[in-house]
Amino acid sequence: MKEFIINNPLDMHLHLRDNDMLKLVAPLSAKTFAGALIMPNLVPPITSKEALLSYKQRIKEASNDNNFETFMTLFFKSDYTFDFLKDIKDDIIGIKLYPAGITTNSEDGVSSMDIEFLRPNLQIMSDLNIPLCVHGETNGFVMDREKEFMPTYEALAKSFPKLKIIMEHITTKEAVLLLDKYDNLYASVTLHHLLITLDDLAGDSLKPHLFCKPIAKRPRDKKALLKAALKAHPKLMFGSDSAPHPKHKKESCGCAAGVFTSPIALQVLTQLFEKHKCLDNLNTFVSLNAQKIYNIKINNKYIKLIKKDFKVPNIYEYKNENVVPMYANETLLWSIKE
């Protein structure tokens, strides 16, 4: 096959940051994706309607008129009222819950995952049909943090059977198995977790641009994630978790967590699905599943990929901001036709 068309590709977990970094990275997603679910963990986090609408406008201005739909999320707080959530419901696609301090800019996250502590807001969300997006990790041993969070997902699914719960950027075999256990559990998965394990990050030498949270796991986990993605499991969707940090914050002591994949995501996914003879499932995985899960309709962009080498830039820059992409300086087999 020499060309492949993806209809309305969606990135259902995207970090765009703000200010000059936003102006650097937003056009890279807006150029090749029809839309994206935008994460709210800015500093300060998005917790009000005013902040949400202002951020959405800044994204629109930074996207360079690329016909890019932004699906906004609110940063979870335990004291949101029914009236507030009812008023903001039509402006958001979900609310993102972070355990406090678990990842970048999550210091204002929830201090307790106790169901009774969370119940008032989760019940309101269930009543208003607002999905809950969750960064599912404990503060345990780094390789076991997601696995240890599985009982919490199960407790949430049982306690709020009408609440749609998205397990964000899943990394383990255990999370994949949960998809078939509860009707109201869904998940997103990243590009990098379909491709790498802990060995790729730190097996021979430390590769800071592959360091992320949740951390890449074991071969058995990657195998389970890849199998589910390649068959376009109906409860699994693509969410890049593309998370830009300046080069000096990645290549330093205290390396920032995040893999930047926006400019190469569709090319690498096409290469990956072609390798496994599953290209017929790619559009479902990267578009249709998300539309069904979130009950959205989008029809504004067709992306044509061609079998032509693409040399990944070693860095992307704008003014004083810069970010190094995954596969920097490497050559991919597919390119996006301009």
HSE-up (13 A, CA, CB side) for residue 246: 10
Containing structural domain, residue 271? 3-303
- Total of domains in the chain: 1
241 has catalytic annotation: yes
In a domain, 203, yes or no: yes
Domain membership flag for residue 24: yes
253: in domain:
yes
- Please compute the mean of the pLDDT values over residues 150-164 and round it to a whole number: 98
pLDDT at 111: 87
Q: What span, in angstroms and rounded, lies between the C-alpha atoms of 85 and 87?
A: 5
Range of lowest pLDDT (102-116, 146-160, 176-190, 237-251): 102-116
In a domain, 316, yes or no: no
pLDDT, position 190? 98
Percent of the chain scored above 70 by pLDDT?
A: 100
Say whether pLDDT at 150 is over 80.
yes
H or E element in which residue 85 lies? helix 82-88
97 falls within a domain: yes
**In this predicted model, what pLDDT tens digit does every residue of 176-223 receive, in sequence order?**
999 999 999 999 999 999 999 999 999 999 999 999 999 999 999 999
Cα separation, 98 vs 311, in Å, equals 36
Residue of 11, 20, 241, 309 with catalytic role: 241
CATH assignment at residue 128:
3.20.20.140
Residue 75 within a domain = yes
Report the distance separating Cα 320 and Cα 101, nearest Å. Answer: 28
Assess if residue 337 is contained within a domain: no
Q: Burial of 87 by CB count in 10 Å (0-12 exposed, 13-18 middle, 19+ buried)? A: exposed
pTM for this predicted structure: 0.97
- Report the pLDDT value the prediction gives residue 66, as an integer from 0 to 100: 86
In the predicted structure, residue 304 carries a pLDDT above the cut 80: yes
- Residue 338, pLDDT > 80, answer no
pLDDT of 1 reads: 84
CB-based burial, 19-34: b 16+ in 10 Å, e otherwise: eebbbbbbbbbbbbbb
Q: Is 217 contained in some domain? A: yes
